[in-house]
Amino acid sequence: MSMVIDTHIHPALFAPICEDPARFRFRCDEMNYHLMSPVDLDLLKKQLALADIRGVFLLGEDCSYDKGQSAISNEEIARLVELEPGLFIGFASVDPRCPDAEETLRRAFTELKLAGLCLNTAKCRLYPYDERIFRLCEICREYKKPVVLHSGLCLERDAFSRYARPADFEELIAAFPQVNFCLTHVGWPWVQETAALLIKYPNAYANTALMNFDGPVQLYHKVFKEDMGEYWVEHNLADKLMFGSDSPRIRPVRAKRGLDALKLRPDVMEKLCRKNALRFLGREDQP
Ligand SMILES: [Zn+2]
């Protein structure tokens, strides 16, 4: 088995950023994580090793405009990356509604050295074609950074999926051909809309982070073999899909079992598990 990159982890429970109990409760409340407690980094690393995960996209979460604070701040993401620089790849988040959003993003790239931007339009209740989002992507183009877009249904509190329909991201993806975009959750339940964008736009990617219901093996089969044509992944989307778990809603090793059960060709698995993520990051030549 070759090494794997997990392109979708919310480090909400990572102990080094859970020291303040009030802040931890606020975060869990915002992200709809119930009955969960902080997890030590050593245990997390063991869980990742079970699926041979050697690289992790850590996604920040900032919808602070109406809540006064972000659920997972860019500083917290940067602190985690500093602890495990060989394992963690940090994604900044900014709330496009904040007047200082552009400044915050520039700072995340220059001072905090984060690898990309993550936006949750469902939670910020902004349509993907909002000009504030375009301005942030202009900064990503300038700094050559990829963008992770939460798409499809979002399980978080106060988040509405009409702001995250995959097809509504098309103008953004088309406007910045130099920027790589990842539609998360394959845009579930609108997976065919997502597939359409992946086929049309070279800079459009998606990750496999599916919802946690029905069991990963069943759900991966339903999405990638029934909702999509049986051979779409191997014939048309092999260069565009990236493995992602959406941990902590589902443990990475369980999500990986769903992907494994598709029994894709080894060269296609290699792309989904690692190569596509490296290209998405612009790190193709990295060993
Ligand atoms: Zn997620």
Domain count, the chain: 1
Which CATH number belongs to the domain containing residue 60 in this structure? 3.20.20.140
Helix spans in the chain (H):
21-31, 41-50, 74-83, 101-110, 121-124, 131-143, 170-175, 191-200, 216-221, 232-235, 252-260, 266-270, 276-281
* Contact call for residues 73 and 41 (beta carbons, < 8 A): no
From ligand 1's centre to the CA of 248, what distance in Å?
9
**pLDDT at position 212:** 85
Distance 250 CA to ligand 1 centre (A): 10
Q: What residue numbers bound the domain in which 86 lies? A: 4-281
In the reported structure, the alpha carbon of residue 9 is separated from the centroid of ligand 1 by a whole-number distance in angstroms of: 7
Q: Does residue 286 lie in a domain region?
A: no
Tell how far the Cα of 249 is from the centroid of ligand 1, in angstroms.
Answer: 8
Please indicate, yes or no, if residue 81 is contained in any of the structural domains.
yes
Distance 150 CA to ligand 1 centre (A): 7
Query: Is residue 168 one of the residues assigned to a domain?
Result: yes
- Cβ < 5 A residues, ion ligand 1: 246
pLDDT, residue 2, reads 66
Would you say residue 287 lies in a domain? Answer: no
- Residues 218-276 have pLDDT tens digits of 999 999 999 999 999 999 999 999 999 999 999 999 999 999 999 999 999 999 999 99
* Ranges of the chain with pLDDT below 50: 1
In a domain, 241, yes or no: yes
pLDDT attached to residue 62: 96
Q: What spacing in Å lies between the alpha carbon of 8 and ligand 1's midpoint?
A: 6
